[in-house]
Structure 1
Amino acid sequence: MTDPERAIVLWVPDWPIEAYLRTQAREVSERDQVAPEAPLAIVHDGRILVCSASARAAGVSRGQRRRDAQAACPELGLLPADPGRDARAFHAVLSRVEQIVPGAEPLQPGLVAVRARGPARFFGGEAPAARALLDALAEIGLAGARAGVADGLFTAERAARAAGADPLVIPAGMAAEFLAPLPVASLGDPELAVFLARLGVRRLGEFAALPENLVRDRLSSHGVRLRALAAGADSRPVVPRVPPPELRRALDLEPPLELADQVAFAVRLTADSFLTGLNEQGLVCTSLRVVIETDRGERSERVWQHPSCFDASSVVDRVRWQLQPSPGSEPFTGGVSRVEIEPEAVDEGAAHQPALLGQGPDERSHHAMTRVQAGLGHRGVLTPVPSGGRWLAEREELAPWGEAVSASLPRELPWPGSLPDPLPSEVFREPRPVAVSGEGSAEVSVDERGFLSTPPASIDGRAVVSWAGPWPVVERTWDPARERRAHRFQLVDDRGSAWLAVLEGDAWLLEGRYA
């Protein structure tokens, strides 16, 4: 086994919360932003993953149940876990570290490692090198970062987590002594920690003292690897990442422009440069982030989707549409001073090459829809999106062409009273009035207990040969102004037509027709 490589590990405590705070500055209005000093916690599956320093001071801890954390700190702000957000926000940290020391390896969001040998020679020692990296992170608002220097990544990470404001340097050859008093849970294997505790092995030094052959027989090669970590013999070297190419493009406008057409004309060259950079990497953009700022401090940020991939014209169209006020939003009052274009999602360019002998009906339809949308605006072409709900008209929403948007009523939620499959082949957006009666024109009604007064015998003068129901639909009983009670029926007339009828109060309505 090779000797461990000296490594410097930088750790940003509570990074998921820090990532949320940094992201909200761009995506959340100032009125709705969470104060950085407020007690905050990241929650997943009902348990606390990470909590802020103020939350810990109030009695909140990692692994705690959500209700216990809220009982200890009633004002605790709960935030959803988002690994993608954590990784995206950590990109700025990696870029800053690489400006000081080339060749950084991201271990996980909030944790980054570099080789110690080169920086130690340049800065005159391992401690000064680690201090220079901490100072660089402090310049981007991460004054609470910690640094550890030791033999191997595992020991350096443990040193970083144990460090204070100053870097913690573990001398060469002293890794085993440093790790010995740490609990076996530090290895990151909960099952192994429980197993070793049952054997009376609770410290890394005790685990490292076990004979290797016995560990191999009982815990296989995985246990041998963890035993080597506990003994300070981490042989894995730092593997620097390959920095991704800079694909983002920005356009500063001086003087600021107030007309959308002027901004769209000015951004055309930026869009061409943006797509050229992607093309050089063999990529195409399928999801685009556009940020627009004005000279009055206003900011608009939005992610645009594309059913295929963006070209220069579609990028310019998205910028123009974003300048148009959407329903419920206020228009810009200042001139546009800056436009940023950044790929949110990319794909291999080879998968989007046009066919040799024509592009097929789907591609032609896409081009036609895009041209109409370019002339009529973002909401000029709408497509249906499956939605949730109890009523058939609610289970379809309209979204702009090419937008991968989620429905306002999620389909995966339980919808008691909703109609199961198969659904009617034709749905009436506005339910149609209809006359339903029983034998001898008797009124068909349903009492409070759900019993039918008389079977339906006719529908608009046609005989009913088969029927099923009633199935109750009850909504919002807690709100007298919006409460709704109705009963569904399936009716088949003597002409072979099948209908979905609704009895609401004394009125009969047709909600849909089966083929």
Structure 2
Amino acid sequence: MTSPPRHLVLWVPDWPVRAALGTAPGDDPVAVMQANLVVACSASARAQGVRRGQRRRVAQTRSPGLRILPADPQQEQRVFVPVLRLLEELVPGVQPLRPGLVALRARGAARYYGGEEQAAMHLIDALAAHGHPGARAGVADGLFTAEQAARLADPVLVVPQGGSREFLAPLPVQALGDEQITALMTKLGVRTLADLAALEVAHVRDRLGERGVRLHDLAAGADSRPLTPQKPEPQLAREIVFDSPLAQAEQVAFAVRQTADAVIGGLTELAQVCTEVRIDLTDDDGVVSSRAWMHPTSFEASDLVDRVRWQLEGMAAQFAATERVGAGILEVRITPTRVDDSAHHQPGLFGQGPEQRLHHAVSRVQAMLGHRGVVTPQVTGGRRLAERQLFQPWGDKTPHERDAALPWPGSLPPPHPSEVFAPPLPARVTAADGTAPTVDERGTLSAPPARIDDVPVLSWAGPWPLRERTWDAAHARIAQRFQIVDESQRAWLALWEDGAWWFEGRYR
């Protein structure tokens, strides 16, 4: 049997903990939890008895000072991307197995750095120099054996060629990572990889099928999995650095035209278009203004220039509000953050539809009037009607922090008033004796409303309490809502707040 090719596996221990902390774990015990179970923990936590798979209560019993962090797989992947880019600069053909674990063919790296151990040490030192100390490396025949070597390394373990079976022999069958089959093997008395490798392949296939045969091959050191190197991501971002700071928005906008053309040109070569972009503006004080911009269809070079200009205008307004002296711009970086296949954005064979024509017309108007020159109404979350209406600049992404789909206790159920007063208008509500009705702290109305703005009341309903931030005495707001219909068939949404009556909206 031909032995598998030599592989080098790099392992950064406790990667979920590192990703959650943003740095290498220190001496304090830390554990990452998912579904109330420990999925990763720091070395100091393991020293106190914390283990993967433990329930939260057991882990906290073992380590009373344990710091609990929630698992975030997307964050782990995101933080690992710079590590991949660093390794790709040092050696070609890096394949990420999962966040914190990568593999590559050992032959090329060993030739370049003068040996397998030297190559592994060079990569470990590079990771340590970039804030990822404690990495380990294993070199062996096949991915599985190299990964097991990396987990036992200190910091590098090289398994001689042809020695995989002897190296794997004492390891427990749990190293195979198949809980269902390894549990059955343990019951059958197969506790180590040597025990499994000693079984006849035909017997394993009869009892466990092809899945068991695959595990048998791994235990025998015959890992035939091919290594598929990750294709490096195309560099879509472009930047321009000015020799001297530019203070005028028009100067910066004119200077970034070629940069915007380069961004769109790079996407065109890949048959892609950009639908969301991040623009970073760095001034001569080192302050970076970063903002994400979204496009209803796809960006063109002129659209990117407009976004740079609008972002500069927003910075100028912010400086004026804070009385800070505006600084000149030294660097502009444009990074496409969301791209799509250009085939999805091609114009129709017989011209453009009404939506495309509308978009181009509105975009031209917005380019002339400015970022907030054209707005679209959006319904957001909130308890008061004025909070729920948002006028969003054309093409901007709707903010998610006020999601209308979330529950908002105290918000008005439909049907809603067709006219909303922002801010609420003063109202004259009187009882039959001519005095203004009041509502006490328990929500009790002193007298029924008889007239509203000197018009007799036909019917009314309420009150419905509206309480906000009651835990904060300085910012608490307590109000009572009423629906009132007068004899002129006008329906009002009235509000009693701070000892006065207000119109919040009107039904039409």
TM superposition score normalised by structure 1: 0.80
The answer (yes or no) to whether the contact 1:43–1:81 under 8 Å persists in 2 is no
Q: How does 1:161-176 map to 2 (within 5 A)?
A: 161-165=151-155, 167-176=156-165
One-letter amino acid of the structure 2 residue matched with residue 101 of structure 1: V
Deviates more, 1:183-192 or 1:281-290: 183-192
3-state DSSP of counterpart to 2:495: strand
Please, which of 382, 385, 388 is the counterpart of residue 392 of structure 1? 385
| Shift, 1:265, TM fit | 1.7
One-letter amino acid of the structure 2 residue matched with residue 389 of structure 1: G
Using the alignment, how far apart are the partners of 1:359 and 1:43 within structure 2? 52
Using the alignment, how far apart are the partners of 2:113 and 2:83 within structure 1? 20
1:339 correspondence with 2:337: no
The answer (yes or no) to whether the contact 1:476–1:483 under 8 Å persists in 2 is yes
1:481 correspondence with 2:474: yes
| Shift, 1:288, TM fit | 1.4
One-letter amino acid of the structure 1 residue matched with residue 72 of structure 2: A
Using the alignment, how far apart are the partners of 1:36 and 1:323 within structure 2? 39
One-letter amino acid of the structure 2 residue matched with residue 510 of structure 1: F
Deviates more, 1:127-136 or 1:447-456: 447-456
Deviates more, 1:354-363 or 1:342-351: 354-363
| Shift, 1:281, TM fit | 0.4
Please, which of 272, 277, 284 is the counterpart of residue 273 of structure 2? 284
* CA shift in 2, pair 1:301/1:36, >3 Å: farther
| Shift, 1:302, TM fit | 3.0
One-letter amino acid of the structure 2 residue matched with residue 404 of structure 1: K
| Shift, 1:17, TM fit | 5.5
Using the alignment, how far apart are the partners of 2:94 and 2:346 within structure 1? 35
Deviates more, 1:320-329 or 1:156-165: 320-329
Using the alignment, how far apart are the partners of 1:460 and 1:431 within structure 2? 15
1:504 correspondence with 2:497: yes
| Shift, 1:159, TM fit | 1.8
The answer (yes or no) to whether the contact 2:11–2:102 under 8 Å persists in 1 is yes
The answer (yes or no) to whether the contact 1:442–1:454 under 8 Å persists in 2 is no
The answer (yes or no) to whether the contact 2:95–2:227 under 8 Å persists in 1 is yes
**Matched-pair identity in %:** 54
* CA shift in 2, pair 1:492/1:294, >3 Å: closer
Using the alignment, how far apart are the partners of 2:58 and 2:373 within structure 1? 50
| Shift, 1:38, TM fit | 8.1
* CA shift in 2, pair 1:506/1:139, >3 Å: closer
The answer (yes or no) to whether the contact 1:292–1:338 under 8 Å persists in 2 is yes
The answer (yes or no) to whether the contact 2:20–2:71 under 8 Å persists in 1 is no
* CA shift in 2, pair 1:203/1:485, >3 Å: farther
5+ residue gaps in structure 2? none
* CA shift in 2, pair 1:38/1:482, >3 Å: farther
One-letter amino acid of the structure 2 residue matched with residue 130 of structure 1: A
The answer (yes or no) to whether the contact 1:386–1:407 under 8 Å persists in 2 is no
* CA shift in 2, pair 1:112/1:407, >3 Å: closer
Using the alignment, how far apart are the partners of 1:200 and 1:274 within structure 2? 62
**Cα displacement string for residues 125-173 of structure 1 (whole angstroms, at most 9, x for unaligned residues):** 43333334334444544443221112322222222222122x2122344
Deviates more, 1:93-102 or 1:215-224: 215-224
3-state DSSP of counterpart to 2:382: coil
**Cα displacement string for residues 91-125 of structure 1 (whole angstroms, at most 9, x for unaligned residues):** 44333333443222121222211123443455554
* Equivalence for 1:9: 9
* CA shift in 2, pair 1:314/1:55, >3 Å: farther
Using the alignment, how far apart are the partners of 2:51 and 2:377 within structure 1? 45
**Cα displacement string for residues 328-347 of structure 1 (whole angstroms, at most 9, x for unaligned residues):** 77868654333222211111
Using the alignment, how far apart are the partners of 2:220 and 2:227 within structure 1? 19
Using the alignment, how far apart are the partners of 2:420 and 2:400 within structure 1? 18
Using the alignment, how far apart are the partners of 1:195 and 1:419 within structure 2? 58
Please, which of 103, 121, 124 is the counterpart of residue 113 of structure 1? 103
1:418 correspondence with 2:407: no
Please, which of 294, 298, 305 is the counterpart of residue 305 of structure 1? 294
Deviates more, 1:68-77 or 1:260-269: 68-77
Using the alignment, how far apart are the partners of 1:141 and 1:463 within structure 2? 74
1:245 correspondence with 2:234: yes
The answer (yes or no) to whether the contact 1:284–1:309 under 8 Å persists in 2 is yes
Q: How does 1:462-477 map to 2 (within 5 A)?
A: 462=455, 464-477=457-470
* Equivalence for 1:81: 72
Q: How does 1:100-499 map to 2 (within 5 A)?
A: 100-138=90-128, 140-165=130-155, 167-189=156-178, 203-205=192-194, 221-324=210-313, 325=315, 327=318, 335-411=328-404, 413-437=406-430, 444-456=437-449, 458-462=451-455, 464-494=457-487, 496-499=489-492
The answer (yes or no) to whether the contact 2:427–2:452 under 8 Å persists in 1 is yes
Using the alignment, how far apart are the partners of 1:146 and 1:387 within structure 2? 49
Using the alignment, how far apart are the partners of 1:426 and 1:201 within structure 2? 75
Deviates more, 1:387-396 or 1:252-261: 252-261
**Cα displacement string for residues 468-507 of structure 1 (whole angstroms, at most 9, x for unaligned residues):** 4332222222333322222223334455544333233543
**Cα displacement string for residues 367-391 of structure 1 (whole angstroms, at most 9, x for unaligned residues):** 3443344344434444444332221
The answer (yes or no) to whether the contact 2:4–2:141 under 8 Å persists in 1 is yes
One-letter amino acid of the structure 2 residue matched with residue 81 of structure 1: D
TM superposition score normalised by structure 2: 0.81
* CA shift in 2, pair 1:431/1:99, >3 Å: closer
Please, which of 60, 64, 88 is the counterpart of residue 98 of structure 1? 88
Aligned residue pairs, count:
502
**Cα RMSD (Å):** 4.0
3-state DSSP of counterpart to 2:96: strand
| Shift, 1:283, TM fit | 0.6
| Shift, 1:279, TM fit | 0.3
* CA shift in 2, pair 1:491/1:62, >3 Å: farther
The answer (yes or no) to whether the contact 1:12–1:146 under 8 Å persists in 2 is yes
Using the alignment, how far apart are the partners of 2:66 and 2:325 within structure 1? 35
* CA shift in 2, pair 1:341/1:278, >3 Å: same
One-letter amino acid of the structure 2 residue matched with residue 469 of structure 1: G
